[in-house]
Structure 1
Amino acid sequence: MEKNKLIIFAKQPKLGKVKTRLAASIGEEKTLKVYYELLAITKFVTSTIEVDRIVFWDHLMDGSSKEFEFGYRNEIQETGDLGFKMEIAFQKEFQSGAKKIIIIGTDCPFLTKEILQNAFAALDHSDFVLGPALDGGYYLLGMKEFSSFVFKSIPWSTEDVLSLTINSIEKNNKTVTLLDSLCDIDDIDDLKFWKGQV
């Protein structure tokens, strides 16, 4: 039976290895605490959605599933740039029998269960769904059939990711639904916005 799937891309919570732009401002230890908080929010938001949940880690290590234990499958990301990693993850999950697939990261504390549910619902009438991030990227991407073109020729981690992805979808004569724009936590300004300090 075909199922809806939610892919979560995550990095192992290791000192000095997460949110390096934020760490340049507040230090590695505080940044790691922020990252643990973001992981906990991601788990809370995703844990009650009735879909298959798969966490793709940057690498696996002992105890890696402690953050996402029950109700989650743990996989490892392919080697390559972000686009290639996401492309292979989508391909694998569609091949294993998925009806709709959505991918998120772990750096958007404003994500809600309702937004995820709306994203899956949007795929009833659109080929793609995108959650725009305020920095020009996206916090969510969803599709109902495997389409590799959305991962090609995109300059990842730039302010052009969202617009170029939309252009790519439209150029291929596909439809896309845009969700509410949300803030990702990448640097000190994002953190202040999240914590209400601005």
Structure 2
Amino acid sequence: MEKNKLIIFAKQPKMGKVKTRLAASIGEEKTLKIYLELLAITKSVTSTLEVDRIVFWDHLTDDLSQEFEFGYQNRIQKIGDLGFKMEAAFQKEFQSGAKKIIIIGTDCPFLTKEILQNAFVILDHSDFVLGPALDGGYYLLGMKEFSSFVFHSIPWSTEQVLPLTIDFIQNNNKTVTLLESLCDIDDIDDLKFWKGQI
């Protein structure tokens, strides 16, 4: 049976291995707590979605994070840049019979279940759906058939990610719908924006 799938890209919550830009400002211990909070928010937002939920971790460990223990499948990301990792994940899930696939990370505390549900609905009439991040990237990417071109020749972690992705989609004569813009948590300014300190 064809199913809708949600891919979640996550890092194991290890001291000094997550949110390094943020850690440079507030220290590794506080950063780990923030990351665990972001994981919990992602779990809360996604746990009742009526789709297959697959967490692709940067690596698997014996003490796997308990945030996604029940109702989630756990896999491991391929080795390579972000584009290669996402491409491999999409390809794998489409090959297993997925109808629509959306990918998110664990960096956006403003993401809601309603936004995710709407993104899946949009794919009924649009080839792609993108959730723009305020830093020029995206917090969500969805498609209804495997298209590898959105993962190639993208300078990841730059403000060019979103506009280049849109260009590639349109240049391939595909349609794209944009969701509302949200803030990812990458550095101290993002954290202040989230916590309402500015």
**Partner in structure 2 of residue 112 of structure 1:** 112
Which ranges of 4 or more aligned residues in structure 1 deviate by more than 3 Å? Answer: none
Partner-residue secondary structure (3-state), 1:44: helix
By how many angstroms is 1:65 displaced? 4.5
Partner-residue secondary structure (3-state), 2:190: helix
**Partner in structure 1 of residue 5 of structure 2:** 5
**Partner in structure 1 of residue 20 of structure 2:** 20
Deviation string, structure 1 residues 11-65 (Cα, Å, up to 9, x no partner) = 0000000000000000000000000000000000000000000000000001215
Question: Could you tell me which amino acid in structure 2 is paired with residue 47 of structure 1?
Answer: S
Kept after mapping to 2: 8 A contact 1:185/1:191: yes
- Partners of 1:141 and 1:132 in 2: CA distance: 9
By how many angstroms is 1:134 displaced? 0.1
Kept after mapping to 1: 8 A contact 2:12/2:65: no
Deviation string, structure 1 residues 84-133 (Cα, Å, up to 9, x no partner) = 00000000000000000000000000000000001000000000000000
Q: Structure 1: 5+ residue runs without aligned partners?
A: none
**Partner in structure 1 of residue 91 of structure 2:** 91
Question: Could you tell me which amino acid in structure 1 is paired with residue 40 of structure 2?
Answer: A
What percentage of aligned pairs have identical amino acids?
A: 87
- Equivalent residues in 2 for 1:1-80, closer than 5 Å: 1-80=1-80
Kept after mapping to 2: 8 A contact 1:131/1:179: yes
Number of aligned pairs? 198
- Partners of 2:20 and 2:128 in 1: CA distance: 31
- Partners of 1:116 and 1:42 in 2: CA distance: 11
**Partner in structure 2 of residue 100 of structure 1:** 100
Question: Could you tell me which amino acid in structure 2 is paired with residue 110 of structure 1?
Answer: F
Partner-residue secondary structure (3-state), 1:140: strand
TM-score, length-scaled by structure 2: 0.99
* RMSD after superposition: 0.5
The answer on 1:128 being equivalent to 2:141 is: no
Q: Structure 2: 5+ residue runs without aligned partners?
A: none
Kept after mapping to 2: 8 A contact 1:169/1:175: yes
Kept after mapping to 2: 8 A contact 1:65/1:74: no
- Partners of 2:147 and 2:125 in 1: CA distance: 16
By how many angstroms is 1:8 displaced? 0.0
Kept after mapping to 1: 8 A contact 2:135/2:183: yes
